[in-house]
Amino acid sequence: MVVLLSRLPATECIKFCHRVVDGLCGREPPRRSEHSTTWSPEEWLQLLDSLSAFYRRAVGSDSSEDEVLGGLADVGSSHAEAVLSVLRARREEIHHALLDRTNSISSAVLQDFDWQLKLSLSSDKISSLHTPLLSLSLDVREDAALRSVTMEMNREELNTLISSLEAANKVVLQLK
Amino acid sequence: MEEVDKILIHALKQVGTEVSEETGSVRQFSSELIVEAVVRCVRVIDPGLGGALPTSLPPGMSARFRVGMSLAQACQDIGYKGEIGYQTFLYSNEPEIRSLLMFLVEKLPRESAEASDQPQGKSAVLQRAIAAAIRAQLSVPWLPPHCRLPLHSQTQSPGALHSFHVQPLSLAHCSPGKKPLKEVKDYHRDILPPVTAQPSHHASVVASILEQHTAELSAAQEWDSEWNSQGLLSRLKPQEYLSRKLTRLRKRIEEQLRSAALPSPESASGGPRPNGDLSELLLAFRGSAPSDHILTKGSHFTHTQKFTFTTTEPSTSVPFAHQSDSDVQLRRQEEQLSLQEQQLCSEVDQLTADMKHMTVTHAQVLDELKQRELGNSEKEEKMQVKKKTIDLLPDSDDNLQKLKALVEASAKRVVHLACQWEKHRAPLIDEHRRLKEICSRQDLESSQKLSEIKSVHDKIRVSTEEAKRKEETYKQLVTELENLPQDASRSAYTQRILEIVSNIKKQKEEITKILSDTKDLQKEINSLTGKLDRTFAVTDELVFKDAKKDESVRKSYKYLAALHENCNQLIQTIEYTGTILREIRDLEEQIETENGSKTVANLERILSDYKAIRQENSALAAKVREG
């Protein structure tokens, strides 16, 4: 399906491939609205899928350039060269992205975490409280859906959390 | 005194008393001003005590008297030891007022001064900053959303708060060792957008950059600490250490995966071969994970899956081909086919079982064969030895001799060889020992150097921590310094104090000079009186001796006695005049102080106040009578 690529001029092709790799590495993929005249929706989806699968396979199985070129036999030589140059430039980045994918193999993965430290100065009963509170929000990715978990802790609870996390880290270090 | 008054007035102004610019000294204070100053000081020192006192004098004379009494009482309650009463305020006298004001100003609480003396804790600074920020925010009025200026949007609009979302960034790193590929350079130059344009939302730019930086930093730190703790001890180059760690990790993961994979039937049938390496194992895993079908290469498992799928395909496709035929025919065919299929299946099962059995027996037979072959070769050897001995038997004596000679020769040869071996061995052993020593010495040196390196690392860490801490305290102190009130008169005060101290020193010197002068004078006077006494005694004796003989000498003796007495009287009178002069001076000083306390004016005021009180009393009495 990479054949569809030949509808683009070679210079455009490099840019487009870079955008596809961007999408592969977790950034913004190319938008269909920019190329709506070139491909039909079905072709667009096929092209995107096949291109990203191609890059993934090429980096994941660490295949040589000849093998890659062999896979691109049905595309014109200038386009194949463009695809290959993009692969050469971004090989390391794709490699990292694939490693990340493998690392997040479990069912729920921590995507981001954010914390805010709040100092509650007083409450409705106590005029001077001066208790620090930490609100921790965890963005957990579960089956490609983002779920946000938020909790508020005082000093002791935070200490318990940190100590348990440290224990977990120790276990991970022992595995190494 | 003027300096003292200036300080006093400055302090009073800070308390809140309205002292006009012209008033330069305490002497110019009016009664009202004194009362106000004292009341304000008392209020600051003890709010409970000063709260009941009015800051200005009432018009009525008796009320004034009462205010004076209560003020005097308040001052005594605070702890003023000097003489004080209503007269101190109403009929003021400069020294008394000055001492009272000095006492009060000293009593003023100086929280700011004390607080600035010692460095405040971090929490105090933070809490003060928080309080200031909240106060500032509270003082800003709330505005409806459309009227907000950028100033308000920071605190009042909720839109400014973004949650923390990270997107991966691509940065052009320059690794020092490798030269980047031409394609990479082109990509970085032409196509890679700047970092601020890479994330899809503008809000996550900062978060992404921070996250990337933290990740890189923590990775570097982890590597650093690991290298310092374990890597250095292993005495390898970093690359070697890394590759060794990688192989170790691979092995471990492989073991874990294999032990986890064995019990599951799926992978047991798809079966990684027992001697396959990690990549094969991983391939097997990729094949069994359905979500990763893009990554799938042809693994053993998928091959078998494909195989079974393709074998069943024709059996299902055949009946569909003859869809146009009648139902009966179809059914019959179906039954036949299913029967056939069952037969085939059972045959296949049987055949596979047979095959397994055969392979097992084949392996057993092979083993047996090997064992037999081994036994055969052993037996052949034995047979050959026996054959030789049988050949030698007929000519036994001769052969025995030959054999003995042979044995002797070989023994000699062995001894000779042993001698030669010894000869070679000694230098070799020496060499070995020497090398061993060198090795151990080098080991020792390297371990010493290792420990040195470690200690240097520790030192570096400790000193960086210390530097950080010191920088923090420095920052804190700087902020405190900025927060301190700018007291401009402080340097003037210190300068003045220094001047006063130097003046006092000068005066002390003068006093000591005068004291030594007086001492000298006293000494001279003493020596002169001694001399006088002695000369008088001698002359008295001489003249007394002669006076018995001569009449004129007796007269002169009488004169001498009279002269002596008169002189004594004279000296006494001089001393008297001295004491009287001193008394006069004392009295003059007293008069001056009395003059300073405005006695006459005060007396006049007292008289007029007295008259006023009497008038008030008579008016009151008249009112009472009328009522």
Q: Are A35 and A64 in contact (CB under 8 A)?
A: no
Chain B interface disruption, residue of A22, A84, A113, most B CBs within 10 A: A22
Q: State the total domains in chain B.
A: 5
Residues within 8 A of B (CB atoms), A 152-171 only: none
- Do A48 and A99 belong together in one domain? yes
Q: How many CB atoms lie within 10 A of CB B560?
A: 16
- Do B430 and B535 belong together in one domain? no
3-class secondary structure per residue, A104-146: CCCCEEEEEEEEEEEEECCCCCCCCCCEEEEEEEEEEEECCEE
Choosing from A87, A103, A119, the residue where a domain stops is A103
The amino acid occupying position B620 is L
- Per-residue model confidence (pLDDT) at position B328: 87
- Per-residue model confidence (pLDDT) at position B342: 93
- Do B472 and B500 belong together in one domain? no
Q: Specify the range with the lowest mean pLDDT, choosing from B33-37, B123-127, B314-318, B600-604.
A: B314-318
- At residue B494 the predicted structure's pLDDT band, cuts being 50, 70 and 90, is confident
- B80 has a pLDDT exceeding 50: yes
The amino acid occupying position B343 is Q
Query: Which residues lie below 8 Å from residue B493, measured CB to CB, with a gap of 6+?
Result: B7
- Do B480 and B494 belong together in one domain? no
Choosing from A51, A73, A103, the residue where a domain stops is A103
Residue A121 sits at the chain B interface (C-beta within 8 Å)? yes
- Do B443 and B501 belong together in one domain? no
- At residue B1 the predicted structure's pLDDT band, cuts being 50, 70 and 90, is low
- At residue A7 the predicted structure's pLDDT band, cuts being 50, 70 and 90, is confident
Report which of B304, B563, B280, B524 is spatially closest to residue A61, judged by C-alpha positions: B280
Residues within 8 A of B (CB atoms), A 62-101 only: 85-86, 88-90, 93, 97
| Joined tokens for residue B235 | 């005495």
| Joined tokens for residue B205 | 């730019």
Residue B236 φ/ψ, nearest 5 degrees: -120, 165
**Contact state of A93 with B170 under an 8 Å Cβ cutoff:** yes
| Nearest residue, CB atoms, B181 vs list A27, A53, A89 | A89
Cα-only R_g, chain B: 61
Domain range for residue B455? 394-484
- Do A97 and A164 belong together in one domain? no
Q: Are B101 and B26 in contact (CB under 8 A)?
A: yes
- B372 has a pLDDT exceeding 90: yes
Q: Could you tell me which residue, A24 or B455, shows the higher pLDDT?
A: B455
Q: How far apart are the C-alpha atoms of B276 and B83, rounded to whole Å?
A: 108
Residues in a beta bridge with A115? A136
Q: State the total domains in chain A.
A: 2
Report which of A143, A15, A21, A113 is spatially closest to residue B164, judged by C-alpha positions: A113
Q: Could you tell me which residue, B456 or B542, shows the higher pLDDT?
A: B456
Residues within 8 A of B (CB atoms), A 22-61 only: 22, 25-28, 53, 56-57, 60-61
Q: How far apart are the C-alpha atoms of A147 and A138, rounded to whole Å?
A: 8
- At residue B283 the predicted structure's pLDDT band, cuts being 50, 70 and 90, is low
SS3 A148: strand
CATH of the domain at B60: 1.10.418
**Contact state of B164 with A113 under an 8 Å Cβ cutoff:** yes
Sign of CA dihedral B555, B556, B561, B563: positive
Q: Are B126 and A119 in contact (CB under 8 A)?
A: no
Report which of B134, B187, B130, B199 is spatially closest to residue B162, judged by C-alpha positions: B199
| Joined tokens for residue B457 | 């690392």
Q: Could you tell me which residue, B528 or B253, shows the higher pLDDT?
A: B528
- Do B267 and B363 belong together in one domain? no
Taking the CA of residue A40 and the nearest CA in chain B, the distance in Å comes to 23
- Do A16 and A32 belong together in one domain? yes
Exposed/middle/buried for B176, CB within 10 Å: 0-12, 13-18, 19+? Answer: exposed
SS3 A151: strand
DSSP one-letter code for B295: T
| Nearest residue, CB atoms, A28 vs list B181, B191, B200 | B200
- Per-residue model confidence (pLDDT) at position B315: 43
Instruction: Answer yes or no: is B145 within a domain.
Output: no
Residue B324 φ/ψ, nearest 5 degrees: -75, -20
Provide mean pLDDT across the span B145-154. 68
Provide mean pLDDT across the span B309-323. 45
Instruction: Answer yes or no: is B551 within a domain.
Output: yes
- At residue B176 the predicted structure's pLDDT band, cuts being 50, 70 and 90, is low
Nearest C-alpha in A relative to B247: A176
How would you list the strands of the sheet with A145-153, edge to edge?
A108-120, A131-142, A145-153
- At residue B413 the predicted structure's pLDDT band, cuts being 50, 70 and 90, is very high
Q: How far apart are the C-alpha atoms of B485 and B406, rounded to whole Å?
A: 116
How far, in Å, are B120, B524, B539, B546 from residue B536 at the CA level? Answer: 81, 18, 5, 15
How far, in Å, are B533, B534, B554 from residue B540 at the CA level? Answer: 10, 10, 11
Mean pLDDT of all residues belonging to chain B: 81
- Do B590 and B539 belong together in one domain? yes
Q: Are A137 and A114 in contact (CB under 8 A)?
A: yes
- Do A57 and A99 belong together in one domain? yes
How many A-B residue pairs are in contact by the CB < 8 A criterion? 57
Instruction: Answer yes or no: is B604 within a domain.
Output: no
- Do B523 and B437 belong together in one domain? no
Q: What percent of chain B has pLDDT over 90?
A: 32
Domain range for residue A151? 110-175
| Joined tokens for residue B506 | 């000068």
Q: How far apart are the C-alpha atoms of A163 and A38, rounded to whole Å?
A: 57
Q: How far apart are the C-alpha atoms of B505 and B513, rounded to whole Å?
A: 12
Strands A131-142, A108-120: parallel, antiparallel or unpaired by DSSP? antiparallel
- At residue B346 the predicted structure's pLDDT band, cuts being 50, 70 and 90, is very high
- B225 has a pLDDT exceeding 70: yes
- Do A94 and A124 belong together in one domain? no
| Nearest residue, CB atoms, A27 vs list B168, B187, B294 | B168
- Per-residue model confidence (pLDDT) at position A60: 83
Instruction: Write out chain A residues lying below 8 Å of B134, CB-based.
Output: 121
- Do B584 and B501 belong together in one domain? yes
**Contact state of A89 with B252 under an 8 Å Cβ cutoff:** no
Report which of B291, B312, B311, B290 is spatially closest to residue B301, judged by C-alpha positions: B290
Provide mean pLDDT across the span A122-129. 80
Residues in a beta bridge with A147? A140
- Do B455 and B554 belong together in one domain? no
- Do A16 and A70 belong together in one domain? yes
**Contact state of B165 with A112 under an 8 Å Cβ cutoff:** yes
- Per-residue model confidence (pLDDT) at position B294: 42
Q: Could you tell me which residue, B185 or B608, shows the higher pLDDT?
A: B608
- B178 has a pLDDT exceeding 50: yes
Query: Which residues lie below 8 Å from residue B62, measured CB to CB, with a gap of 6+?
Result: B613, B616
- Do B452 and B532 belong together in one domain? no
Q: Are B288 and B270 in contact (CB under 8 A)?
A: yes
Which string of b and e fits B549-558 if b means at least 16 CB within 10 Å? eeeebeeebe
Choosing from A69, A103, A137, the residue where a domain stops is A103
Instruction: Answer yes or no: is B617 within a domain.
Output: no
- Do A96 and A122 belong together in one domain? no
- Do B449 and B516 belong together in one domain? no
DSSP one-letter code for B162: -
- Per-residue model confidence (pLDDT) at position B285: 57
Q: Specify the range with the lowest mean pLDDT, choosing from B10-24, B218-232, B241-255, B446-460.
A: B10-24
- B292 has a pLDDT exceeding 60: no
Q: Could you tell me which residue, B586 or A102, shows the higher pLDDT?
A: B586
Q: What string of DSSP letters covers B228-287?
A: IIIIHHHT--HHHHHHHHHHHHHHHHHHHHHHHHTTSHHHHHH---TT--HHHHHHHHHH
- Per-residue model confidence (pLDDT) at position B308: 46
How far, in Å, are B317, B529, B569 from residue B574 at the CA level? Answer: 157, 15, 9
Taking the CA of residue B382 and the nearest CA in chain A, the distance in Å comes to 57
Instruction: Write out chain A residues lying below 8 Å of B181, CB-based.
Output: 88-89
Exposed/middle/buried for A134, CB within 10 Å: 0-12, 13-18, 19+? Answer: middle
- Per-residue model confidence (pLDDT) at position B280: 61
Instruction: Write out chain B residues lying below 8 Å of A60, CB-based.
Output: 295
| Nearest residue, CB atoms, B191 vs list A18, A57, A111 | A18
Taking the CA of residue A27 and the nearest CA in chain B, the distance in Å comes to 7
Provide mean pLDDT across the span B167-194. 75
**Interface confidence (ipTM) of the complex:** 0.80
* Residue B99 half-sphere exposure toward CB, CA atoms < 13 A: 9
Q: Are A13 and A83 in contact (CB under 8 A)?
A: yes
Q: How far apart are the C-alpha atoms of B153 and B417, rounded to whole Å?
A: 102
- B380 has a pLDDT exceeding 80: yes
Q: How far apart are the C-alpha atoms of B599 and B487, rounded to whole Å?
A: 40
Provide mean pLDDT across the span B326-343. 90
- Do B37 and B6 belong together in one domain? yes
List own/partner pairs for B285-292 with CB under 8 A and 24 or more apart: B285/B257, B285/B261
List own/partner pairs for B307-313 with CB under 8 A and 24 or more apart: none
- Do A115 and A44 belong together in one domain? no
- B297 has a pLDDT exceeding 60: no
DSSP one-letter code for B161: -
Nearest C-alpha in A relative to B256: A175
| Joined tokens for residue A90 | 């971004």
- Mark out chain B residues that contact chain A at CB-CB < 8 A: 127, 130, 134, 163-168, 170, 181, 183-184, 186-187, 191, 198-200, 207, 211, 245, 249, 252, 294-295, 297
Choosing from B424, B453, B484, the residue where a domain stops is B484
Provide mean pLDDT across the span B2-21. 79
Q: How far apart are the C-alpha atoms of B403 and B396, rounded to whole Å?
A: 10
pLDDT tens digits, residue range B227-238?
877 777 777 788
Start-to-end CA distance of chain A, whole Å, equals: 42
Q: How far apart are the C-alpha atoms of A69 and B366, rounded to whole Å?
A: 48
Choosing from B455, B484, B513, the residue where a domain stops is B484
Q: What percent of chain B has pLDDT over 70?
A: 83
Query: Which residues lie below 8 Å from residue B100, measured CB to CB, with a gap of 6+?
Result: B38, B75, B80, B82, B84, B88
Q: Are B543 and B553 in contact (CB under 8 A)?
A: yes
- Do A34 and A99 belong together in one domain? yes
Provide mean pLDDT across the span B452-480. 94
- Per-residue model confidence (pLDDT) at position B304: 46
SS3 B157: coil
- B290 has a pLDDT exceeding 50: no
DSSP one-letter code for B199: S
**Contact state of B294 with A56 under an 8 Å Cβ cutoff:** yes
- B464 has a pLDDT exceeding 90: yes
- At residue B110 the predicted structure's pLDDT band, cuts being 50, 70 and 90, is low
Residue A119 φ/ψ, nearest 5 degrees: -110, 110
Instruction: Answer yes or no: is B584 within a domain.
Output: yes
Taking the CA of residue B262 and the nearest CA in chain A, the distance in Å comes to 20
Strands A145-153, A108-120: parallel, antiparallel or unpaired by DSSP? unpaired
The CA-based angle B499-B503-B508, given to 5 degrees, is: 150
